[in-house]
Structure 1
Amino acid sequence: MYAIEMIDYGDVDVLVATNTAVQPTIKPTQILVKQHAAAIDPYDMKFRQGLMGQEKAVPLILGSSVAGEIVALGTEVDGFAIGDRVAASPHLNSYAEFVALGRKTVAKIPDNVSYAQAAALALGAQTGYQAITENLNSQAGESVLILGGAGSVGLTAIQVAKLRGAGDIYTTAVGEGVNFLKHFDSNFHVIDTHTEQVANMIPDGVDVILDTLGHDSLKQALSVLKPTGRLVSLVGDDDDVRVTHSYLKSNGEQLEQLLQLVSENKVKVVISDIKPFNVENLKKFQMLKHIVGKLVLTFE
Structure 2
Amino acid sequence: MQAFQISAAGCAPALTETDCPAPGPGEAAVALRACGLNFADLLMMKGTYQDTPEPPFTLGLEAAGVVTALGDGAEGFAVGDRVAVFGGSGGLAEAGVFSTERLIRIPDAMSFEHAAAMQIAYGTSHMALDHCARLQPGETLLVTGAAGGVGLTAVEIGKLMGATVIAQARGQDKLDVAAAAGADHLIDASEDLRSAVKALGGADVVYDAIGGDVWKAAFRSANPGARLLPVGFAGGEVPQIPANHLLVKNLTVIGFYLGGYMKFRPEAVRRSFETLFAWHGEGRIKPHISHTLPLAQAAEGLELLRSRKSTGKVVITMGGS
Q: TM-score, normalised by structure 1?
A: 0.88
CA shift for structure 1 position 266: 0.5
Q: Provide structure 1 residue ranges, at least 5 long, that are not aligned to the other structure.
A: none
CA shift for structure 1 position 185: 4.4
1:216 to 213, 216, 235: 213
Aligned letter for 1:14?
A
Confirm or deny: 8 A CA contact 2:125 2:154 kept in the other structure: yes
Counterparts of 2:73 and 2:148, CA distance in 1: 37
Counterparts of 1:19 and 1:187, CA distance in 2: 44
Equivalent residue number for residue 266 of structure 2: none
| Change in CA separation of 1:107 and 1:253 when aligned onto 2, cut-off 3 Å | farther
Counterparts of 2:72 and 2:53, CA distance in 1: 29
Equivalent residue number for residue 73 of structure 1: 70
Equivalent residue number for residue 172 of structure 1: 168
Sequence identity percentage: 28
How many residues of Structure 1 are paired with residues of Structure 2 in the alignment? 293
CA shift for structure 1 position 76: 4.1
Counterparts of 2:84 and 2:123, CA distance in 1: 11
Counterparts of 1:26 and 1:297, CA distance in 2: 26
Equivalent residue number for residue 7 of structure 1: 7
1:115 aligns with 2:133: no
| Change in CA separation of 1:283 and 1:170 when aligned onto 2, cut-off 3 Å | same
| Change in CA separation of 1:54 and 1:274 when aligned onto 2, cut-off 3 Å | closer
Confirm or deny: 8 A CA contact 2:28 2:67 kept in the other structure: yes
The Cα RMSD (Å) is: 2.3
CA shift for structure 1 position 215: 0.8
Confirm or deny: 8 A CA contact 1:199 1:221 kept in the other structure: no
Equivalent residue number for residue 238 of structure 1: 239
Equivalent residue number for residue 292 of structure 1: 311
Counterparts of 1:20 and 1:71, CA distance in 2: 18
Counterparts of 1:227 and 1:76, CA distance in 2: 52
Counterparts of 1:262 and 1:71, CA distance in 2: 26
Counterparts of 1:32 and 1:54, CA distance in 2: 22
Which structure is higher in RCO with an 8 Å CA cutoff and minimum separation 6?
A: 1
Counterparts of 1:136 and 1:40, CA distance in 2: 26
Counterparts of 1:271 and 1:132, CA distance in 2: 22
Confirm or deny: 8 A CA contact 1:9 1:54 kept in the other structure: no
Counterparts of 1:252 and 1:105, CA distance in 2: 9
Confirm or deny: 8 A CA contact 2:4 2:59 kept in the other structure: yes
**Aligned runs of 1:85-96 on 2, under 5 Å?**
85-96=82-93
Confirm or deny: 8 A CA contact 1:67 1:116 kept in the other structure: yes
| Change in CA separation of 1:7 and 1:53 when aligned onto 2, cut-off 3 Å | farther
1:282 aligns with 2:267: no
CA shift for structure 1 position 27: 2.8
Counterparts of 1:202 and 1:27, CA distance in 2: 55
Confirm or deny: 8 A CA contact 2:295 2:318 kept in the other structure: yes
CA shift for structure 1 position 57: 2.9
Confirm or deny: 8 A CA contact 1:131 1:232 kept in the other structure: yes
Aligned letter for 1:200?
A
Counterparts of 2:276 and 2:52, CA distance in 1: 32
Aligned letter for 1:258?
L
Q: TM-score, normalised by structure 2?
A: 0.83
Deviation per residue, 1:103-123 (Å, 9 max, x gap): 333222122210011111122
Confirm or deny: 8 A CA contact 2:197 2:203 kept in the other structure: no
- Could you say what secondary structure the match of 2:254 adopts? strand
Aligned letter for 1:84?
D
Counterparts of 2:123 and 2:295, CA distance in 1: 23
Counterparts of 1:62 and 1:117, CA distance in 2: 19
Counterparts of 2:39 and 2:8, CA distance in 1: 18
Confirm or deny: 8 A CA contact 1:191 1:198 kept in the other structure: no
- Could you say what secondary structure the match of 1:180 adopts? helix
Aligned letter for 2:113?
A
4+ long deviations beyond 6 Å: none
Aligned letter for 1:6?
I
CA shift for structure 1 position 216: 0.8
Per residue, is there more helix in 1 or in 2? 2
Q: Provide structure 2 residue ranges, at least 5 long, that are not aligned to the other structure.
A: 244-251, 263-268
CA shift for structure 1 position 231: 0.8
Counterparts of 1:161 and 1:218, CA distance in 2: 19
Counterparts of 2:143 and 2:182, CA distance in 1: 15
